[in-house]
Amino acid sequence: MTEPVLENDLRATVRSIPDYPKPGIIFRDITTMLGNARAFRRAVDELVQPWAGMKIDKIAGIEARGFILGGAVAHQVSAGFVPIRKKGKLPHKRVSVTYMLEYGEDEIEIHADALVAGERVVLVDDLIATGGTAEAAVKLLRQLGAEVLGACFVIDLPDLGGASRLRDLGVPVRTLISFQGH
């Protein structure tokens, strides 16, 4: 967790939308943060802070908001960018992993040639909740031989346990804001 001033500043730029996508859920919308140049830059700077000065070969971003943040982070650390996409979106030979959702399962993919074994990768997305997609992404990256240096997210929903789930896989996690509940 970062210092209270950063958390309060960034928290003020996140829009909370009650009962979306279903009743009882509060959707944390970072598009308002992305539209605020100062907040967006600060978030990108802070996301990579734990790995400053380390050699990072690639940033992997999870569809879709992870593409926005991940592209900016990759630029900041002079690394390549690798998209992790939902099934059926990548045109070339790909590697995939299936993971469980609350009701059913889903699948994410990466191009088979997106990484070279041994490359050092940081995973980026906007929010970590239960951690199912992020855990699947880590497994996918490791399947291609990547060394996953860490994972970073603007928002953590700690009550849902996703960050702990990644730490249990040996992946350091950086989050900037946390919200209680779902």
Q: Which two tokens stand for residue 167?
A: 């730490």
Residues 95-121: tens digit of each pLDDT: 999 998 767 799 999 999 999 999 999
Q: Quick check: is 11 catalytic?
A: no
2 has a pLDDT exceeding 60: no
Burial of residue 124 (CB within 10 Å: 0-12, 13-18, 19+) is buried
Q: What is the mean pLDDT of residues 128-142?
A: 96
Q: Quick check: is 109 catalytic?
A: no
**Residue 26: other Cβ atoms inside 10 A:** 15
Which residue is catalytic, options 65, 85, 94, 174?
Answer: 65
What confidence tier does 76 reach under pLDDT thresholds 50, 70, 90?
Answer: very high
What confidence tier does 3 reach under pLDDT thresholds 50, 70, 90?
Answer: low
What confidence tier does 165 reach under pLDDT thresholds 50, 70, 90?
Answer: very high
Q: Which domains does the chain have, with CATH numbers?
A: 4-178 (3.40.50.2020)
29: helix, strand or coil: strand
**CA 87 – CA 42 distance, rounded (Å):** 32
Q: In the 8-state DSSP scheme, what is residue 53?
A: T
Supply the pLDDT for residue 169: 97
4 has a pLDDT exceeding 70: no
Supply the pLDDT for residue 1: 47
Q: Which residues pair with 178 in a beta bridge?
A: 156
What confidence tier does 181 reach under pLDDT thresholds 50, 70, 90?
Answer: confident
What confidence tier does 13 reach under pLDDT thresholds 50, 70, 90?
Answer: very high
Supply the pLDDT for residue 104: 79
* Of 1 and 26, the one with more pLDDT: 26
